[in-house]
C-alpha cells in the first residue's frame, strides 16, 4: 500500500511510535513559530529549560495579535519577546510586519518540513505542503529545545477536488462547504489532505485559506501536495530553492474520501455563532449589514486584496456600512500601494487597519449593539468580536466587498465581471522587519528585558490518587477556548500576567466563576462534547489551574486543549456513559477516586458525596502523559527528565 502526503512527512520525522491511528507518535520538529499573545508564556517556559540556543532549523517570534499598545503592558511584552528572541537564536518579526501565518507562508514555510506554532491556525502552512500543527506554548518551548512533539497518529481523510472555481467563488467557499459537510467536530482526530484534479487550479494562497480553516473542523492539520503551483509561488517569493515536489502515492489509502466539485460551488456564508453554521449566501440576501471586515490569516493575501479593490473600484460603500481592511503583511500592503489598488480601496470609504489580527481577535472594530458584521475571518464564536449581542457571519473577500457596497448580504456572482487577477510573477521582497538573533557568543551576556507586566507563570501540582473538590462550573457542548479565556482589547494586555487574567476566566458564560473557584480552593469543571475547541491558547488551561481546577470532566475534548490541560497538570476525564453528565449539578461536592490505578486501567470513579450519584470516567493517557500529570505538568516533567 502506498503512502499519503502526511504519512510520508510523518515517516521521515518519526522519532518514536507506530503509525497506526490513535497510537502516540513523537515527531522531530524542523520549525517553530510563536505569536505575541501566546509567545510570552512559551518563552518564559523555554527559559526555565536553561537551553542557550534553540535547536530547531528555524524558529521565529511574530508580533501580530496585540499591537495597540494601550498602556505599558503590551509594549513590555513586545520588548520581552524581542530581547528573549535575540538571546536564544530566534528571529523576531516586528509589530506591524504582518500576521504570523501569512508571513510564514510568504517567507519561511518549506514543503516537506514540520512546523509547530503556538496558534491554532498554524496548519495554514499545509497550503505550501508543510506538516504544520497548532500547539500549546509549552509544546512549542519543548520543540525549540530540541524535544519531540507528541500527537496521536491521526486518521487520514481526503477531499477529492474536481472542476475549477467560477468567477466570484473562492477558496473560502470551499473551506465553508467542507465545514457544512463535516461540522466543527468532523475533523477531530484526522489529517485532511486535499487532492484530485481540482487541486492544480488553486494557488498557494488559496490553498492556505483552506488549510487555515481546517482548524475550525477540529482537524489535527490539513495539507496540500507540493506541485507546480508551489514552485511558482516559491519562485515568485524569490526562494525557488525551497521547492521540493510532494504528492501522495496512487494507491495511498484514506479512511474517508469527501468529493467537492469546485465548478458547482456557490458563495457560502457561516451564520452566527459557529463556523459550521453554513448556508449559501444567496439565501440570506435581504439581511442588512452594519459592518464588513476584510483581512485575518484566512483572507489577507495580495490576490484577495486585489479582488476586493477591483470590486470596490470607482464605487462607494453603502452609508450604513463601516468597512475595514487589514492586509496580511507589509509585502501585501506595499504591493497594493505601489499598484494603486490601495487608492481604489480607500476611495470607496474603507478604513485601513494595521497589518495584524485586529478585529479578528476583538482588538478594535467591535460591531455596534446587535449589529450584523460580515468578516472574511475564520471564527464567529459568541462575543469574540467584542460585542456580545453582535451577529457575526464569515464570508469570502468577494462576498464581503459586494455586501459592503450593497449594504445588504450580497451574492457576488450577481456583480458585473472584473478583470482576471492572478499571482504576480515576483513579489516585492523586504525582510528588514524580521530581525536576526544575536550571534551565540554575544547572546551569552545579552539581557532579556522584563517590564512589570511579565509575571512568572503558576506552578502545577502533581495529581494524587483522590481529588475532592467542588463542581465549580457546569457548561454545555462546544465550549471554545474563547469562552474559557476571552481575548479582546480588555484582556489581551494581560497574557503575561496569569493572576490578572484569572479575573476574566469564563466571563462570557458566568462572570462569578473566578471568585467562586478561588473561594472553593479546589475545583472540578464539567463540560459537554468538543470542550476546548478553537484557539490553542494555553491560558485556557493555565488560568483554571491557577484558580484551583484539578480535573475537567467532559463528554469529549478538542485536541490542543486536552494536551494543554495535561501540560498544566489538570486531569482530563470523559464520561463512559454520556447520560451521566446530567446526574451532577453545579455546586455539589465531588470526589474522583482510584486515579493512580485508573491511569493504567483507563477508568476512575466520580461520586457526588451528597447524593451518592456515581459515574465511571475514562482516563485515557499515554505513559508519557501519566508521567507529566504525576510530575505536576510538562515543565516539572521536563526538568525531572533533563
Ligand atoms: C485565535 O484565532 O483564536 C488566536 C487568537 O489566534 C489563538 C491564539 C491566541 O489565543 O492567542 C489561536 O488560534 O490559537
Ligand atoms: Fe490572528 Fe485571527 Fe488568525 Fe488568530 S485567527 S491568528 S487572531 S488573524
- What the block records as the C-alpha cell of 87 is 538571546
Whole-number pLDDT of residue 85? 98
Specify the residue with its C-alpha closest to ligand 1, atom 11: 37
pLDDT at 465 over 80: yes
| Strand 256-261 versus strand 58-62 pairing type | unpaired
In tens, the pLDDT along 138-179 reads: 999 999 999 999 999 999 999 999 999 999 999 999 999 999
Q: To which H or E segment does residue 581 belong?
A: none
Ligand showing the shortest atom-to-Cα distance for residue 65: 2
pTM metric for this prediction: 0.97
C-alpha span between 92 and 413 (Å, rounded):
41
Map out the domains of the chain as residue ranges.
5-14+25-264, 268-414, 467-641
Ligand showing the shortest atom-to-Cα distance for residue 215: 1
Indicate the top mutation candidate among 36, 386, 535 to test ligand 1's pocket, ranked by most ligand atoms within 8 A of CB. 535
- Any catalytic annotation for residue 91? no
- Residues flanking ligand 2, CB < 6 Å: 65, 99, 119, 121, 296-297, 357, 360-361, 377-378
Would the CA dihedral through 582, 585, 591, 592 be positive or negative?
positive
pLDDT at 66 over 90: yes
Whole-number pLDDT of residue 579? 97
Neighbours of 155 (CB within 10 A): 18
Residue with cell 473561594: 519
Neighbours of 417 (CB within 10 A): 8
How many degrees, rounded to 5, is the angle at CA 367 between CA 364 and CA 371?
Answer: 175
Atom of ligand 1 nearest to the CA of 361: 5
Share of the chain above pLDDT 70, in %: 100
Q: To which H or E segment does residue 565 belong?
A: helix 559-567
Whole-number pLDDT of residue 487? 92
- Residues flanking ligand 1, CB < 6 Å: 37-38, 65, 119-121, 134, 361, 379, 487, 534-537
Specify the residue with its C-alpha closest to ligand 2, atom 2: 360
In tens, the pLDDT along 353-407 reads: 999 999 999 999 999 999 999 999 999 999 999 999 999 999 999 999 999 999 9
Residue with cell 491554532: 120
In tens, the pLDDT along 477-521 reads: 999 999 999 998 899 999 999 999 999 999 989 999 999 999 999
Ligand showing the shortest atom-to-Cα distance for residue 295: 2
Q: Where are the alpha helices (DSSP H) in 263-329?
A: 302-312
Task: Give residue 8 CA to ligand 1 midpoint distance, Å.
Answer: 29
Return the percent helix, strand and coil in the chain, to nearest 5. Answer: 35, 20, 45
Atom of ligand 1 nearest to the CA of 384: 3
**φ and ψ at residue 292, rounded to 5 degrees:** -135, 130
The single-letter DSSP state of residue 533 is: B
The residue from 64, 77, 139, 482 that is catalytic is: 64
Task: Give residue 501 CA to ligand 1 midpoint distance, Å.
Answer: 16
- Any catalytic annotation for residue 170? no
Atom of ligand 2 nearest to the CA of 300: 8
The single-letter DSSP state of residue 246 is: B
Close Cβ partners of 623 (under 8 Å, ≥ 6 residues apart): none
pLDDT at 641 over 90: no
C-alpha span between 559 and 561 (Å, rounded):
6
Indicate the top mutation candidate among 118, 123, 357, 480 to test ligand 2's pocket, ranked by most ligand atoms within 8 A of CB. 357
Task: Give residue 2 CA to ligand 1 midpoint distance, Å.
Answer: 36
Task: Give residue 345 CA to ligand 2 midpoint distance, Å.
Answer: 22
In tens, the pLDDT along 543-597 reads: 999 999 999 999 999 999 999 999 999 999 999 999 999 999 999 999 999 999 9
Q: Where are the alpha helices (DSSP H) in 27-186?
A: 36-48, 72-88, 100-103, 137-144, 171-182
Whole-number pLDDT of residue 589? 98
Task: Give residue 100 CA to ligand 2 midpoint distance, Å.
Answer: 8
- Any catalytic annotation for residue 64? yes
5-14+25-264 and 268-414: identical CATH topology: yes
Whole-number pLDDT of residue 75? 94
Q: Which CATH number applies to 268-414: 2.60.40.10, 3.30.1330.20, 3.30.450.20, 3.30.499.10?
A: 3.30.499.10
Instruction: Provide the CB-side half-sphere exposure for 122 (13 A, CA).
Output: 29
C-alpha span between 48 and 83 (Å, rounded):
16
CB of 111 within 8 A of CB of 225?
Answer: no
Indicate the top mutation candidate among 294, 377, 488 to test ligand 2's pocket, ranked by most ligand atoms within 8 A of CB. 377
Ligand showing the shortest atom-to-Cα distance for residue 38: 1
Specify the residue with its C-alpha closest to ligand 2, atom 1: 357
pLDDT at 1 over 90: no
Angle between helices 539-546 and 36-48 (to 10 degrees): 60
Whole-number pLDDT of residue 634? 94
C-alpha span between 611 and 164 (Å, rounded):
61
- Any catalytic annotation for residue 537? yes
Looking at every residue in the chain, the average pLDDT score rounds to 97
Structurally, what CATH architecture does the domain formed by 467-641 represent?
A: Alpha-Beta Barrel (3.20)
Close Cβ partners of 225 (under 8 Å, ≥ 6 residues apart): 5, 129, 194, 195, 199, 245, 246, 247, 248
Specify the residue with its C-alpha closest to ligand 1, atom 12: 535
In tens, the pLDDT along 97-116 reads: 999 999 999 999 999 999 99
Q: Is 106 buried (19+), middle (13-18) or exposed (0-12) by CB count in 10 A? A: buried
Structurally, what CATH architecture does the domain formed by 5-14+25-264 represent?
A: 2-Layer Sandwich (3.30)
In tens, the pLDDT along 228-258 reads: 999 999 999 999 999 999 999 999 999 999 9
Task: Give residue 519 CA to ligand 2 midpoint distance, Å.
Answer: 34
Amino acid at each position: 500500500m502506498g503512502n499519503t502526503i502526511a504519512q510520508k512527512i510523518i515517516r521521515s520525522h518519526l522519532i518514536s511510535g507506530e503509525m497506526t491511528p490513535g497510537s502516540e507518535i513523537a515527531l522531530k520538529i524542523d520549525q517553530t513559530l510563536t505569536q505575541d499573545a501566546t509567545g510570552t508564556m512559551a518563552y518564559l517556559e523555554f527559559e526555565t529549560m536553561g537551553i542557550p540556543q534553540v535547536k530547531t532549523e528555524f524558529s521565529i517570534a511574530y508580533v501580530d495579535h496585540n499591537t495597540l499598545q494601550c498602556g505599558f503592558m503590551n509594549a513590555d511584552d513586545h520588548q520581552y519577546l524581542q530581547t528573549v528572541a535575540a538571546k536564544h537564536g530566534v528571529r523576531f518579526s516586528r509589530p506591524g510586519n504582518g500576521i504570523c501565518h501569512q508571513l510564514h507562508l510568504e517567507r519561511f514555510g518549506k514543503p516537506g518540513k514540520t512546523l509547530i506554532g503556538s496558534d491554532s491556525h498554524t496548519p495554514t502552512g499545509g497550503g505550501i505542503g508543510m506538516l504544520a500543527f497548532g500547539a500549546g506554548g509549552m509544546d512549542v518551548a519543548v520543540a525549540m529545545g530540541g524535544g519531540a512533539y507528541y500527537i496521536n497518529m491521526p486518521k487520514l481523510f481526503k477531499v477529492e477536488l474536481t472542476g475549477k472555481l467560477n468567477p466570484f467563488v473562492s477558496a473560502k467557499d470551499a473551506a465553508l462547504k467542507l465545514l457544512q459537510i463535516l461540522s466543527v467536530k468532523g475533523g477531530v482526530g484526522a489529517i485532511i489532505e486535499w487532492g484530485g484534479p481540482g487541486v492544480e487550479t488553486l494557488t498557494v494562497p488559496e490553498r492556505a485559506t483552506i488549510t487555515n480553516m481546517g482548524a475550525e473542523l477540529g482537524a489535527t492539520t490539513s495539507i496540500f501536495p507540493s506541485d507546480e503551483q508551489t514552485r511558482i509561488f516559491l519562485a515568485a517569493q524569490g526562494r525557488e530553492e525551497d521547492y521540493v515536489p510532494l504528492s501522495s502515492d496512487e494507491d495511498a489509502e484514506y479512511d474517508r474520501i469527501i468529493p467537492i466539485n469546485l465548478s458547482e460551488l456557490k458563495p457560502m456564508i457561516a451564520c452566527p455563532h459557529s463556523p459550521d453554521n453554513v448556508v449559501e449566501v444567496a439565501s440570506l440576501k435581504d439581511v442588512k449589514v452594519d459592518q464588513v471586515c476584510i483581512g485575518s490569516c484566512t483572507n489577507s493575501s495580495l490576490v484577495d486584496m486585489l479582488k476586493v479593490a477591483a470590486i470596490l473600484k470607482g464605487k462607494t460603500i453603502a452609508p450604513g456600512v463601516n468597512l475595514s481592511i487589514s492586509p496580511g503583511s507589509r509585502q501585501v500592503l506595499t504591493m497594493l500601494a505601489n499598484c494603486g489598488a490601495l487608492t481604489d480601496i480607500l476611495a470607496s470609504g474603507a478604513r485601513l487597519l494595521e497589518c495584524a489580527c485586529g478585529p479578528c481577535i476583538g482588538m478594535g472594530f467591535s460591531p455596534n449593539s446587535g449589529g450584523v458584521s460580515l468578516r472574511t475571518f475564520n471564527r464567529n464564536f459568541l462575543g469574540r468580536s467584542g460585542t456580545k449581542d453582535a451577529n457575526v457571519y464569515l464570508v469570502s473577500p468577494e462576498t464581503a466587498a459586494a455586501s459592503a457596497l450593497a449594504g445588504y448580504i450580497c451574492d457576488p456572482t450577481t456583480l458585473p465581471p472584473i478583470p482576471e487577477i492572478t499571482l504576480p510573477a515576483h513579489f516585492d521582497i523586504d525582510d528588514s522587519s524580521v530581525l536576526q538573533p544575536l550571534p551565540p557568543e554575544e547572546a551569552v551576556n545579552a539581557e532579556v528585558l522584563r517590564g512589570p507586566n511579565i509575571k512568572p507563570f503558576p506552578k502545577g501540582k502533581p495529581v494524587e490518587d483522590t481529588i475532592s473538590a467542588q463542581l465549580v462550573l457546569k457548561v454545555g457542548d462546544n465550549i471554545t477556548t474563547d469562552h474559557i479565556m476571552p481575548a479582546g482589547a480588555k484582556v489581551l494586555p494581560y497574557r503575561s500576567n496569569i493572576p490578572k487574567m484569572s479575573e476574566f476566566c469564563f466571563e462570557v458564560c458566568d462572570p462569578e466563576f473566578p471568585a467562586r473557584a478561588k473561594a472553593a480552593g479546589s475545583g472540578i469543571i464539567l463540560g459537554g462534547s468538543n470542550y476546548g475547541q478553537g484557539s490553542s491558547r494555553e491560558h485556557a488551561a493555565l488560568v483554571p489551574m491557577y484558580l484551583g481546577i484539578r480535573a475537567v470532566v467532559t463528554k469529549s475534548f478538542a485536541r490542543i486543549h486536552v494536551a494543554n490541560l495535561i501540560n498544566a497538570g489538570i486531569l482530563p476525564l470523559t464520561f463512559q456513559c454520556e447520560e451521566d453528565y446530567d446526574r451532577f449539578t453545579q455546586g455539589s461536592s465531588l470526589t474522583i477516586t482510584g486515579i493512580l490505578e485508573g491511569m493504567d486501567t483507563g477508568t476512575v470513579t466520580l461520586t457526588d458525596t451528597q447524593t451518592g450519584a456515581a459515574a465511571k470516567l475514562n482516563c485515557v493517557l499515554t505513559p508519557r502523559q501519566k508521567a507529566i500529570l504525576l510530575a505536576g505538568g510538562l515543565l516539572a516533567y521536563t526538568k525531572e527528565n533533563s
